[in-house]
Amino acid sequence: MSRKWISFPIREGDCSRQAHCDLPTGTYEREMGREGFFGPTAHLHHKHPPTGWVDWQGPLRPHAFNFNRIASERDCPLQAPLALHNGDLKLRVWKTHGAMRHLVRNADGDELLFVHEGAGHFYCDFGHLEYRDGDYLMIPRGTAWRIEPVQPTFMLLIESTDGAYMLPEKGLVGPQAIFDLAVLEHPRLDDAFKAQQDENPWQVRIKRRNQISTVTYPYNPLDVVGWHGDNTVVRLNWRDIRPLMSHRYHLPPSAHTTFVANGFVVCTFTPRPVESDPGVLKVPFFHNNDDYDEVLFYHRGNFFSRDNIEAGMVTLHPCGFPHGPHPKALKKSQENPATFADEVAVMIDARHALEIGEAAAGVDVPEYVNSWRAPGA
């Protein structure tokens, strides 16, 4: 049966003419939105900050995790500690410094690797490419691969369980916006790939239904001599992303979507000028995104809307309560706004509730829930 959202603009009381701009004096705007900024919205103007709580009890709460403290050094990425998960995705954290002497293959879903630190060589069924910090490596389900770091490597592993990664529709701005497909790189059957082929025994460790099986070959299975098609590993670095911007309007996170999967999206926040119009919000707006759990991994830079957050940390804002800039960040944006946001972060918006794994629970920052308190509260 066809259906349609009830959609007509209603105005009540003292409110702004447009979202995120020229707010009534002394008010704090809160956006209540559906379907990850794509559905119906309402913008409410409050006398007090929507995050001005002084006490919080119960299991629903904002979290901050310091992934730097997770003991995640492993020789095999399939054994990387599970941090956050639901039926659509699994987020793991993996640190390694030595060359993998085996191959891995994920038969449960596609992998998206984000290289937080390090550099090295990536070998797979399709060939060889080099990786560095800030790279995304999108690996189709069933691909055999391994890495040889030349620098100690720290990665996020984002599994799209039983699903694939695709690109967002870019609509009116056209296919070259945000990043041109011409910047995407794929593995090559180069001299480095050919040099690693040998006749020695190699293991392929395969994950299926979260169980690992090991298959041994008397030779290196990365022995391809040629291939054709469009199902392959893809590399994208955040430095090649040119974010959408508006000097008169603070764009929602959905404008920074990089990859789309079943039940979640991956967005990339990259350095950009801050909005310059005098009446526009210059920090993320307070919002309830009541259909999605929001995860932010802080990669590098000055995280201008958060206090006491360092590179390698992660925040989780489950749906069900408002969140937004911390008090000091909001005050600075009003009194002495920055002109440039020098930060890089990876956001995962998950349609279904995320569970906190043992690895993340062990590095939870319990005082994070109180970080929105106004000074002296």
Between the ranges 1-15, 35-49, 66-80, 274-288, where is the mean pLDDT highest? 66-80
* Cβ 216 vs Cβ 101: under 8 Å: no
Q: Cα angle at 162 between 160 and 168, to 5 degrees?
A: 50
pLDDT (0 to 100) of residue 369: 93
pLDDT digits (tens, 9 = 90+) for 56-79: 999 999 999 999 999 999 999 999
* Cβ 258 vs Cβ 266: under 8 Å: yes
CA distance 104 to 43: 48
The set of residues, in sequence order, having a beta carbon less than 8 Å from that of 55 and lying 6+ positions away, is none
Share of the chain above pLDDT 70, in %: 98
256 has catalytic annotation: no
**Mean predicted confidence (pLDDT) in 17-43:** 88
Higher pLDDT, 238 or 21: 238
Tell me the pLDDT of the chain averaged across its residues: 93
**Mean predicted confidence (pLDDT) in 121-135:** 98
> Residue 376's pLDDT band (boundaries 50, 70, 90)?
low
pLDDT (0 to 100) of residue 7: 74
pLDDT (0 to 100) of residue 336: 85
Q: Which of 78-92, 190-204, 302-316 shows the lowest mean pLDDT across its residues?
A: 302-316
> Residue 375's pLDDT band (boundaries 50, 70, 90)?
low
pLDDT (0 to 100) of residue 284: 85
352 annotated among ligand-binding-site residues:
no
CA distance 111 to 303: 27
**Mean predicted confidence (pLDDT) in 271-297:** 90
Q: What is the pTM of this model?
A: 0.94
Model confidence at 354: pLDDT above 90: yes
Model confidence at 1: pLDDT above 80: no
> Residue 374's pLDDT band (boundaries 50, 70, 90)?
low
> Residue 304's pLDDT band (boundaries 50, 70, 90)?
low
**Mean predicted confidence (pLDDT) in 28-36:** 88
Work out the widest C-alpha separation in the chain, in whole angstroms. 77
Q: Three-state SS for 173? A: helix
* Cβ 225 vs Cβ 210: under 8 Å: no
293 annotated among ligand-binding-site residues:
yes
pLDDT (0 to 100) of residue 19: 87
Q: Which of 250, 256, 299, 326 is catalytic?
A: 250
pLDDT (0 to 100) of residue 281: 85
Model confidence at 320: pLDDT above 70: yes
**CA 123, chain centre distance (Å):** 24
CA distance 290 to 250: 20
Model confidence at 33: pLDDT above 90: no
pLDDT (0 to 100) of residue 152: 98
DSSP letter at 190?
-
291 annotated among ligand-binding-site residues:
no
Model confidence at 318: pLDDT above 90: yes
Structural domains in the chain, CATH included, are 28-51+60-64+242-370 (2.60.120.10), 74-238 (2.60.120.10)
> Residue 327's pLDDT band (boundaries 50, 70, 90)?
confident
pLDDT (0 to 100) of residue 328: 83
